[in-house]
Amino acid sequence: MKPYLREKTTFSASEVPQATAFEAGYLVSVNSGWRSIRPVIEPARCIGCEQCYLYCPDGVIAVQNGKAVIDYDFCKGCGICAKICKTGAVRMEAERE
């Protein structure tokens, strides 16, 4: 995975795709603007069972040090993680921005 858009570095013309055949995994825009609600992890309740990681359609959840962590740049707020969580460690909150 190469999330170029998050590394705010300069780049040359050869690094910019000029046709649809280009390096795989070239991302230029985030999906966070799609969200009206966002999942929030309560670390105290999270047991690191990785069910949310497994069932996330966007693959934005990773378990680090035994706790789920969400990549909010690409989370669309579908809420599958909150439904699948057996311990109720994922809470859906309204986006405030």
Partner 1 sequence: MGNPTAERISRDEYFYGHKACAGCGGSLAVRAALKVLGQNAVSVLPAGCMSAVGFNFPQLCFSNNSIISTFAGTASMLTGIEAGLRAKGHTDFTAVGFAGDGGTADIGIQALSGAIDRNDNIIYICYDNEAYMNTGIQKSGLTPFGARTTTTPAGEHIHGNLRPKKNMFEIAAAHGIPYAATASIGYLPDFIKKVEKAAKIRGTKYIHVIAPCPTGWGIAPDQTVEIAKEVVDCGLWYLAEYENDSFTLNHKPKTFSSVEDYLKKQGRFRHLDAADLETIIQSRDKKWAFIEKNFSYR
Interface residues toward partner 1, by CB under 8 A: 1-3, 16-17, 20, 22-31, 34-35, 47-51, 53-59, 62, 66, 74, 76-80, 82-84
CB of residue 81 to partner 1, shortest distance in Å: 9
The set of long-range contacts for 4-12, using a CB threshold of 8 Å and a minimum separation of 24, is 4/28, 5/29, 5/30, 6/73
CB of residue 31 to partner 1, shortest distance in Å: 7
Q: Tell me how far apart the alpha carbons of residues 34 and 31 are, in angstroms, rounded to a whole number.
A: 6
CB of residue 36 to partner 1, shortest distance in Å: 9
Place of tokens 């359609």: 57
Alpha helices in 8-97 (DSSP H): 51-55, 80-84
Q: Tell me how far apart the alpha carbons of residues 33 and 75 are, in angstroms, rounded to a whole number.
A: 9
